[in-house]
Amino acid sequence: MQLGSSVSEVHNIGKQRLLYLNNMGIFTVEDLIEHFPREYDDRSDIKTISDLVPNEVNTFIGSLNGNADTIRIKNMVLTRAKITDDTATVNAVWYNQPYLKNTFKDGQRYIFTGKYQHSYGKKEVVSPEYEALDKGELLSGGRIIPVYNTTKGISQKIFRSIIKDTLEKSKNQLVDFIPKCIRMENKLCDRNFAVQNIHFPEDDNSFFTARRRLVFEELFVLQTALLKMKTAVKEGKSGIIIKNEKAEKEISMSIGFELTKAQKKVKEEIKADFVSGKVMNRLVQGDVGSGKTAVAMITSFIAIKEGFQAALMAPTEVLAKQHYYSFKDVFEQFGVNVVYLSGAMKKKEKTDALRAVEDGSAEMVIGTHAVIQKGVTFKNLGFVVTDEQHRFGVNQRILLSQKGNNPHVLVMTATPIPRTLALILYGDLDISIIDELPPGRQEIDTRAVNTSYRPRIYSFIKKEIDKGRQAYVVCPSIEESEKRETEAVIEYAEKLMDYYFKDYKVAVLYGKMKNDEKQSVMEDFANGNIDVLVSTTVIEVGVNVPNATIMLIENAEMFGLSQLHQLRGRVGRGSEQSYCILVSDSKNKVTIERMKVMQKTRDGFVISETDLRLRGPGEFFGTKQHGLPMLKIANLYKDIDILKEAQTAAAKIIEQDSNLEQQDNNLLNEKTNRFFQNRDIGI
């Protein structure tokens, strides 16, 4: 069997199973053997029947004592058998598999794995998996058993045997695409050995060796692909030179505050990129409220005064509009034309906006995804900013940077990501960090309470409103369906309007609302015409209303820590003391610990590290927000050491051969080229 052969050539795969496998993305023999186990089941401990542990899954060997029989109970068929070894006899039972009666033969020996149930006075092994002992190497017991992600129509048992068979018939054909020097240096085992042992480990040691090799391989390819892209971007094109000291002085005067040290540092990094002759590709990570917008504003202004167009793209209409107004406020004093662009605009407005973008009279273009659509042509785009980067995919970012003639690209995110992970997510970018908040920010008083506190919370909110403040209430974002979510928010808001907050102005905001409705609610809230804004997480990103001092989050356990942190960042933006109240009735230990962390710290990096530790990367990145590439085997939390090794190795290879043109790197080159094609990654 060749690696490239269709899986239809594999024994036991007929039309139907072929279809199932294809649906899983498995087409060739190679795809199949690179479908690694999801987890393992340790069945190496074989018990005697007298030693079976009650109410646990046991593996044991025994012979059929007589033939199996079947009985009918209601609409069920039970198959029963007695199984004996030197020590004792035990009953086994299977449901609705009448054919088993003829499968088992009196006196034949099998290895079984199943739960030994003691209940209602009965003692029996329930639906054990079985495998005849005379068939050569055992697959279902006496060893560590691989467990696969599989689909309906192919059981674990079948999957296991298909893989085993395929591995045997396609032995030693895998070629190694990791260059030899890297393999030696990092003590990686042979690829064939690794794939063999990831499925059916000979022993613990072989398993660890195999896994380490495959994890390394996966991360190494990822890192190499990213680095290659990064160097190509840097080397391939020459960057526009943007330099304008005078513009910087002008704008800095009218921004209304002095930049923090951290803001200044990042601004200088951007300016250095502007004059480097290379194309900038920079990520700014800065906690909520750290003042990323000001940095974007100043640097955009410099680019515009140097004669270029600048563009800012934000993930939501609300946020884009907000940026539009704050840029307009400052830029118009200098006669800079700021133009808004969104998919939701009226036709005429849009046509006008597009024309202005095309003829260059739109100097600062701010908008949503609409900015990267076809048909948007810039005259002279020199600088592009995307805000809240984690909401965009790498492709969108690339689309935007293709809009002009190699414009400089700045991406900003408020999601603090542990540094090593940032390197994976944004490996093709240079990273700047704003690690300081503007002066005078108050600690946000954060409390975690249960629902019995609601009346007290509401009266507290009223007191604050009476002092002139405003409040956000964020309702459970149960992912179930957007419809349910909307209903929940509306219901909640109605309760407040009809009852607790009858005499106050309460409004709702949710994703499904029409854009201009959303916009007008946000404006009303920003202008102080709304006291309590009940919303879904649409307000999570970037919204800035300094007079809002209370953030009440219902069902706080439903949110990731980083998300809670983002939400909390909506308050504490003005000079008044602000509060964040997390409501949850959950008694789950992890939840309790997560709520504690929120009360203890406001450092986004600490919070994201904790989130990662408590929930693991699956959950951490679970909301797809981060667009982390799908990894087959590496676990970014557990495998951080291997990640570091892979990063070092990738850097070394790219340093020696940035386009992977040397012969030794041929296979690796192919692999990295395919990397971005095969995966829908949003970095």
- Interface contacts to ligand ADP, rule CB under 6 A: 257, 259-260, 263, 286, 288-294, 414, 438, 542, 544, 546, 573
291 near Mg ion (CB under 5 A):
no
315 near Mg ion (CB under 5 A):
no
542 near Mg ion (CB under 5 A):
yes
Q: Which two tokens stand for residue 40?
A: 């393992």
87-95, 374-382, 536-544, 653-661 -> range binding Mg ion (CB under 5 A): 536-544
- Report which residue type is found at 559: F
289 binds, among ligand ADP, Mg ion, none (CB under 5 to 8 A by kind): ligand ADP
- From residue 256, alpha-carbon distances to 291, 458, 492, 571 in Å are 13, 35, 39, 20
291 binds, among ligand ADP, Mg ion, none (CB under 5 to 8 A by kind): ligand ADP
- From residue 160, alpha-carbon distances to 16, 18, 170, 190 in Å are 17, 15, 15, 22
Return all residues near 149 (Cβ < 8 A) that are at least 6 apart.
24, 35, 38
626 binds, among Mg ion, ligand ADP, none (CB under 5 to 8 A by kind): none
Cβ at position 293, least distance to ligand ADP in Å: 3
**CA proximity to 195, closest of 25, 40, 36:** 36
Cβ at position 388, least distance to Mg ion in Å: 7
544 binds, among ligand ADP, Mg ion, none (CB under 5 to 8 A by kind): ligand ADP
Name the closest residue to ligand ADP (Cβ): 291
612 binds, among ligand ADP, Mg ion, none (CB under 5 to 8 A by kind): none
Which one, 114 or 542, has the nearer CB to Mg ion? 542
**Burial of 365 (C-beta count, 10 Å sphere; 0-12/13-18/19+):** buried
Q: How far apart are CA 75 and CA 67, in angstroms?
A: 23
- Give the side-chain half-sphere CA count within 13 A for 185: 13
Which one, 297 or 421, has the nearer CB to ligand ADP? 297
Cβ at position 526, least distance to ligand ADP in Å: 12
DSSP of 102-125: HH--TT-EEEEEEEEEEETTEEEE
Q: How far apart are CA 381 and CA 67, in angstroms?
A: 81
Place of tokens 């406001």: 602
Cβ at position 292, least distance to Mg ion in Å: 5
- Report which residue type is found at 384: V
247 binds, among Mg ion, ligand ADP, none (CB under 5 to 8 A by kind): none
Cβ at position 439, least distance to ligand ADP in Å: 6
Which one, 295 or 336, has the nearer CB to Mg ion? 295
Which one, 146 or 542, has the nearer CB to Mg ion? 542
625 binds, among ligand ADP, Mg ion, none (CB under 5 to 8 A by kind): none
User: In 24-108, where does DSSP find H-type helix?
Assistant: 29-33, 100-103
Which one, 546 or 622, has the nearer CB to ligand ADP? 546
Which one, 182 or 410, has the nearer CB to ligand ADP? 410
Task: Report whether 434 contacts 295 (CB < 8 A).
Answer: yes
Cβ at position 269, least distance to Mg ion in Å: 18
Cβ at position 565, least distance to ligand ADP in Å: 11
Cβ at position 567, least distance to ligand ADP in Å: 12
Task: Count residues binding Mg ion (CB under 5 A).
Answer: 1
Which one, 199 or 568, has the nearer CB to ligand ADP? 568
Contacting Mg ion within 455-514 (CB under 5 A): none
- Report which residue type is found at 346: K
Which one, 266 or 302, has the nearer CB to ligand ADP? 266
- Give the side-chain half-sphere CA count within 13 A for 517: 8
Task: Report whether 549 contacts 575 (CB < 8 A).
Answer: no
Which one, 113 or 446, has the nearer CB to ligand ADP? 446
Which one, 239 or 289, has the nearer CB to ligand ADP? 289
Q: How far apart are CA 379 and CA 385, in angstroms?
A: 17
Q: How far apart are CA 384 and CA 451, in angstroms?
A: 45
Q: In this structure, are strands 89-95 and 122-132 parallel, antiparallel, or unpaired?
A: parallel
Cβ at position 268, least distance to Mg ion in Å: 20
Which one, 296 or 365, has the nearer CB to Mg ion? 296
Which one, 208 or 257, has the nearer CB to ligand ADP? 257
Cβ at position 525, least distance to ligand ADP in Å: 15
- Report which residue type is found at 207: F
219 binds, among ligand ADP, Mg ion, none (CB under 5 to 8 A by kind): none
Cβ at position 479, least distance to ligand ADP in Å: 25
259 binds, among ligand ADP, Mg ion, none (CB under 5 to 8 A by kind): ligand ADP
682 binds, among Mg ion, ligand ADP, none (CB under 5 to 8 A by kind): none
Q: How far apart are CA 575 and CA 37, in angstroms?
A: 54
Q: How far apart are CA 579 and CA 588, in angstroms?
A: 24
528 binds, among ligand ADP, Mg ion, none (CB under 5 to 8 A by kind): none
Cβ at position 539, least distance to Mg ion in Å: 12
392-400, 521-529, 540-548, 598-606 -> range binding Mg ion (CB under 5 A): 540-548
Strand partners, 145: 41
Which one, 163 or 434, has the nearer CB to ligand ADP? 434
Cβ at position 412, least distance to ligand ADP in Å: 7
Q: Which two tokens stand for residue 653?
A: 């290879």
Return all residues near 456 (Cβ < 8 A) that are at least 6 apart.
none
User: In 306-406, where does DSSP find H-type helix?
Assistant: 317-331, 347-359, 394-401
Q: How far apart are CA 402 and CA 395, in angstroms?
A: 10
Task: Report whether 310 contacts 384 (CB < 8 A).
Answer: yes
316 binds, among ligand ADP, Mg ion, none (CB under 5 to 8 A by kind): none
DSSP state of 45: -
263 binds, among ligand ADP, Mg ion, none (CB under 5 to 8 A by kind): ligand ADP
194: helix, strand or coil: helix
Q: How far apart are CA 387 and CA 314, in angstroms?
A: 5
Q: In this structure, what is the dihedral angle of CA atoms 404, 410, 412, 418, given to the nearest 10 degrees?
A: 130
Q: Which residues bind Mg ion (CB under 5 A)?
A: 542
